[in-house]
Amino acid sequence: MGRGKIEIKKIENANSRQVTFSKRRAGLLKKAKELAILCDAEVAVIIFSNTGKLFDFSSSDMKRTLSRYNEYIDSSDAAVVEYRKEEESKMVEMLKDEIAKLDAKQLRLLGKDLTGLNIKELQLLEHQLNESLLAIKERKDELLMQQLEQSRVQEQRALLENETLRRQVEELRCLFPLTERVVPSFLPYRKMERKNVLVDNGVKCPNLASNCANENGYSDTTLHLGLPNDVHQKRKGPEKETISNDSESEMALL
């Protein structure tokens, strides 16, 4: 019967770990020696134990093998760098070609640099332009329809707001009805004011008020027009002065 599989993990027991290290180290060195002899290979093995003890094996000189290894590592790194540079340069050239093609295609779409195109290529370009124009028109019509729909929605909202405001105004009118008021004109208002003044002064009869006005030298027009008393007195003043002057002149002649 064969041995069961051993779980590959650190052995916690120090004695068991040391025994396993000795056995596996001997087996590894034996396999390295067999590989070097059977396959004519240059083999070098370096082992450090957990205590720092060195164990090594080399089918030839260890230093020569290590220097060869270092040279290979350096050359491999340089090769990797060179390979990356070549790949980057190829990528740059490819991108430049793509940019040149795109620039030429853009110029052809603008109707420029058409000298190198044949009839089929020109027909294909025309077909592409027609398809692009149709797509642009469809997109424009779609945007116009969207704007029209938005305008309709805004119009409906405005109508609803106007209807709401109208109803509110009607409700306010019902709550606060308007009363019609007739405002008298200025002349009757002045006449009534004169009458009220006469009543307040103790004159109750309209005829008496008119007689008093005639005795004082006031005319009906003064009452009706609402002219102040001092204006009438100013008008009567010059007439009295002319009468007195005439009487004085007659006396002087006599």
- According to DSSP, the residues that pair with 44 across neighbouring strands are 58
* Residues 208, 167 within the same domain: no
* Residues 173, 192 within the same domain: no
Residue 42, domain member (yes or no)? yes
* Residues 191, 232 within the same domain: yes
* pLDDT on residue 233: 52
Neighbours of 44 (CB within 10 A): 19
The CATH number assigned to the domain holding 39 equals 3.40.1810.10
* Residues 160, 209 within the same domain: no
Residue 112, domain member (yes or no)? no
What tens digit of pLDDT does each residue of 160-171 get?
A: 999 999 999 988
Residue 55 · residue 49 · CB < 8 Å: yes
What tens digit of pLDDT does each residue of 110-155 get?
A: 888 788 788 888 888 888 888 888 999 999 999 999 999 999 999 9
* pLDDT on residue 71: 84
Q: Which residues of 111-127 are buried (b: 16+ CB within 10 A; e: fewer)?
A: eeeeeeeeeeeeeebee
Residue 83, domain member (yes or no)? no
Residue 88, domain member (yes or no)? no
* Residues 47, 22 within the same domain: yes
- 3-class SS of residue 201: coil
Contacts of 152 (CB under 8 A, 6+ apart): none
For the chain, list residues with pLDDT below 70: 1-4, 177-254
Residue 21, domain member (yes or no)? yes
Residue 103, domain member (yes or no)? no
Residue 107, domain member (yes or no)? no
Residue 226, domain member (yes or no)? yes
Q: Which residue has the tokens 């009869």?
A: 205
* Residues 239, 222 within the same domain: yes
**Mean pLDDT for the chain?**
75
* Residues 192, 171 within the same domain: no
* Residues 28, 49 within the same domain: yes
- Which of 60, 89, 114 delimits the end of a domain? 60
Which of the 8 DSSP states describes residue 33? Answer: H
Residue 60 · residue 68 · CB < 8 Å: no
Which structural domain, as residue segments, surrounds residue 28? 14-60
Report the number of distinct structural domains present in the chain: 3
Q: What are phi and psi of 57, to 5 degrees?
A: -150, 140
* Whole-structure pTM value: 0.33
